[in-house]
Amino acid sequence: MKISELGERKLIKILLEKRDEKLTVKDERIIESYHDDAAIQENKQKYTVLSTDMLIQHTHFPKQMTYYQMGEKVVTVNVSDILAMNAEPESILVSMALPPTMLVNEFNELVEGILDKCSEYNITLIGGDLNENDEIILTGTTTGQINKNIKLQSNIQEDNLIAVTGQLGTPAAALDILNSKEIIDIPDNERKNIINSILEPNLPLKTSKFLQKHPEIVTSITDITDGLAIELKHLQEKNNHLGFQIIKNKLPYNKYIQKIADCNNKPLNDYLLHFGEEFELLLTLDSEEYEQYREKLVDVTVIGRVNNSKLITILENDCLKEIKIKGYEHLKDD
């Protein structure tokens, strides 16, 4: 059965019924509002953090990605921006533009991916919209809560440490594996982990929760969705009296992506600096506070330091050079 045989109202009814089965909210008025024109939330006398992100099928979803994984990703992308404010995610609205030829079981799969990620991140799907389009477009709007410990990107100080969570470059390598006709000789478990980094991205939840409890450690946070180089440029633009120096041999990455880069005739730096889609966090840290907690921040790697050079540089093979800022940008010609 195609979704066009059911229509918007029945599809929304399916979505809401599935959502309601998984609700953990206790306040009946809030629950009832989820079926009205707009949802209400309790005001806890904190800052409300809001973010939105749009994913378009041909741009953001590799052809190997399932409908379930598409649903997962729209939630992950949006929650990532809330974590980048050192805030606690709370709810999400998801609007969908879907082709009328989509099957109902495919729609159900998409919804399950959304709801399962909401459960994993302990947030609630509170609403959205549904429309028709030739390809899938998913737009999420996420809310979160934060007190005075909000971390703005303009808070960076000279001599702060620069650090990242997780590993860099893996999604870029994954996309090349998926698009390559050659079978690259790496262990099957490593191949699966690398491919999953782009098909089923995850967030550094444990580290985020720790930083929420100890906000004194960080001076700024952002996520690495556009590539490390571009994200450093964004930070430098908001702190234009400062410079950012990273060290190549400090960058954390899966050793097998070097082989994947070689097989695709690409420099490793293209993976590490210029691709993105990691959904890891780029942090600037107070050096004294970090030393106090470093043993508990096992997922955090220090890769450089903030200085007053007004430049973005990389130390590689004992040579210091400026990083070329490049990467994909929507609505911009190559």
Q: pTM of the entire structure?
A: 0.89
Residue 328 pLDDT = 56
Residue 316 pLDDT = 96
Residue 331 pLDDT = 44
Detail the DSSP E strand segments found in the chain.
47-56, 88-98, 124-132, 137-146, 161-165, 218-223, 243-247, 281-285, 300-307, 312-316, 319-322
Residue 24 pLDDT = 86
Residue 41 pLDDT = 74
Residues of the chain with pLDDT under 50: 331
Residue 235 pLDDT = 94
Report which DSSP code applies to 247: E
Decide: 172 and 270 in contact? Cβ < 8 Å: yes
Q: pLDDT tens digits, residue range 49-70?
A: 999 999 999 999 999 999 999 9
320 vs 248: CA distance, rounded Å: 10
CA dihedral defined by 304, 308, 310, 312, rounded to 10 degrees?
A: -10
Residue 8 pLDDT = 80
Exposure string for 248-271, b = 16+ CB within 10 A, e = fewer: beebbbbebbebbbebbebebbbb
